[in-house]
């Protein structure tokens, strides 16, 4: 059993990770507000701790693994750039310093699979050996390049600490930045472009954290379903109709709702999850079609059938317990 601190309570990834991890480990969720759903057997603390207080928490609770999710831009809109840098970059530096001083053995940091950058020169599936793009012009990726540099420097200076970076494909979550674009009435595509895209179910993302806690391995891991899908097909699968727009109109300002650089609507940035499969024993259980279908509204007949299955499973569990 490992003593785990999840730093950052925003979003369903935290909730699902806490639910799963607390089945095997002692888990504390630290955040600036309560978690957004039940977190299993985990405990939680609502506070904004400074470095000294964080060090006290890590030492008092004998935390062995820290999962760093307290990064702006994954589960909501970004504030101004200064606030984002303060929390994402400076906050990560302070957390890593507290982990070193407290003797934490394993640190995991959430990152993004699009950190490599969109380019016509990208292979179909990008491996972790490819250098990341450290300078992005806008959105979450603008600070994530700096965060990853801070994490890499820390890992090089402190080899006694296992440092794991989880580069997730965009998550299929209600508040994710890409999902807001996909849920718009007529998501806009650039005329003549239809990049391949991967979207990861939140459950698969949470199981990757469980795998990394159970088998600590340093370095970066790409986490995504193996088979990407054209963006236009993703939009249609969600019941929307894409609208083609002339690219030069958006060279300086992306289409409404699109959170990243326009190049991600031109060129693919799809990632290879094989290292995670080999070293963590992880693989996405949801392919793209199945994951997307979980977001589609159910018909009355489907809702009745799903409720019947859930009721039967619940009653069977209760009988086994009794």
Query: Average pLDDT for residues 29-42, to the nearest whole number?
Result: 93
Burial of 48 (0-12, 13-18, 19+ CB in 10 A): exposed
Instruction: State the Cα–Cα distance between residues 218 and 216, nearest whole angstrom.
Output: 7
> Is the predicted pLDDT of residue 322 greater than 80, yes or no?
no
Q: What is the pLDDT of residue 251?
A: 66
- Give the model's pLDDT for residue 76: 82
Residues near 44 by beta carbon (within 8 Å), at least 6 away in sequence: 9, 28, 29, 30, 31, 34, 35
**Residue range 269-282, pLDDT digits in tens:** 999 999 999 999 99
How far apart, in whole angstroms, are the C-alpha atoms of residue 304 and residue 311? 10
Task: Report whether pLDDT(297) > 80.
Answer: no
* d(C-alpha 104, C-alpha 2), whole Å: 11
Looking at residue 289, what is its pLDDT? 92
Q: What is the pLDDT of residues 207-250, one digit of tens each?
A: 999 999 999 999 999 999 999 999 999 999 988 999 988 766 66
**Tokens found for residue 10:** 């925003």
Q: What is the pLDDT of residue 301?
A: 80
**For residues 295-314, average pLDDT:** 79
pLDDT of residue 252: 65
Would the pLDDT of 315 be above 80?
A: yes
In this prediction, residue 78 carries a pLDDT of: 87
Question: Which residues does residue 189 pair with via DSSP β-bridges, in sequence order?
Answer: 244
Compute the average pLDDT of residues 265-272.
96
Tell me the pLDDT band of 255, cut-offs 50, 70 and 90. confident
pLDDT at position 312 is: 85
Question: Does pTM top 0.85 for this prediction?
Answer: yes
Structure tokens given for 114: 């699009």
Q: Is the pLDDT of residue 202 over 70?
A: yes
Tokens matching residue 175: 């508040």
Torsion sign over Cα 11, 187, 82, 128: positive
Give residue 146's pLDDT: 95
Residue 195 pLDDT > 90, yes or no?
yes
Residue 321: band (very low, low, confident or very high) from pLDDT cuts 50, 70, 90: low
pLDDT tens digits, 109-163: 999 999 999 999 999 999 999 999 988 888 899 999 999 999 999 999 999 999 9
Residue 149 has phi, psi (to 5 degrees) of -65, -45
Residue 322 vs residue 262, higher pLDDT: 262
Query: What pairs with residue 145 in β-bridges?
Result: none
Distances (CA, A) of 186 to 106, 196, 243: 44, 18, 6
Look at residue 253 and tell me whether its pLDDT is greater than 80: no
3-state secondary structure the chain: CCEEEEECCCCHHHHHHHHHHCCCCEEEEEECCCCCCCCCCCEEEECCCCHHHHHHHHHHCCCCEEEECCCCCCCCCCCCHHHHHHHHHHHHHHHHHHHHHHCCCEEEEEEEHHHHCCCCCCCCCECCCCCCCCCCCCCCHHHHHHHHHHHHHHHHHCCCCEEEEEEECCEECCCCHHHHHHCCCCCEEECCCCCEECCEEHHHHHHHHHHHHHCCCCEEEEECCCCCEEHHHHHHHCCCCCEEECHHHHCCCCCCCCCCCHHHHCCCCCECCHHHHHHHCCCCCCCHHHHHHCCCCCCHHHHHHHHHHHHHHHHHHHHHHC
């Amino acid at each position: 059993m490992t003593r785990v601190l999840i730093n950052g309570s925003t979003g369903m990834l935290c909730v699902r990770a806490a639910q799963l991890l607390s089945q095997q480990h002692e888990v504390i969720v630290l955040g600036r507000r309560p978690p957004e759903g039940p977190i299993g057997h985990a405990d939680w603390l609502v506070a904004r701790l400074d470095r000294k207080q964080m060090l006290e928490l890590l030492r008092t609770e004998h935390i062995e693994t820290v999962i760093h999710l307290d990064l702006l831009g994954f589960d909501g809109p970004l504030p101004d750039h200064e606030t984002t840098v303060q929390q994402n970059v400076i906050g990560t530096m302070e957390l890593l310093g507290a982990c070193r001083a407290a003797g934490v053995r394993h640190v995991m940091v959430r990152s993004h699979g699009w950190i490599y950058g969109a380019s016509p020169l990208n292979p179909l599936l990008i491996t972790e050996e490819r250098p990341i793009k450290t300078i992005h012009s806008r959105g979450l990726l603008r600070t994530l390049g700096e965060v990853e540099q801070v994490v890499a420097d820390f890992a090089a200076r402190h080899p006694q600490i296992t440092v794991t970076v989880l580069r997730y494909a965009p998550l299929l979550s209600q508040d994710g930045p890409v999902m807001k674009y996909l849920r718009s009435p007529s998501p806009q595509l650039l005329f003549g472009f239809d990049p391949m895209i991967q979207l990861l179910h939140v459950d698969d993302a949470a199981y990757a954290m469980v795998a990394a806690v159970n088998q600590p391995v340093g370095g970066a891991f790409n986490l995504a379903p193996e088979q990407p899908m054209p963006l236009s097909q993703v939009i249609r699968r969600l019941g929307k109709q894409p609208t083609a727009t002339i690219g030069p109109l958006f060279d300086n300002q992306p289409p409404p709702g699109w959170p990243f650089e326009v190049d991600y609507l031109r060129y693919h940035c799809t990632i290879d999850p094989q290292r995670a499969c080999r070293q963590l024993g992880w693989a996405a259980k949801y392919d793209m079609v199945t994951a997307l279908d979980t977001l589609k509204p159910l018909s009355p007949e489907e809702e009745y059938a799903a409720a019947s299955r859930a009721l039967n499973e619940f009653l069977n569990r209760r009988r086994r317990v009794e």
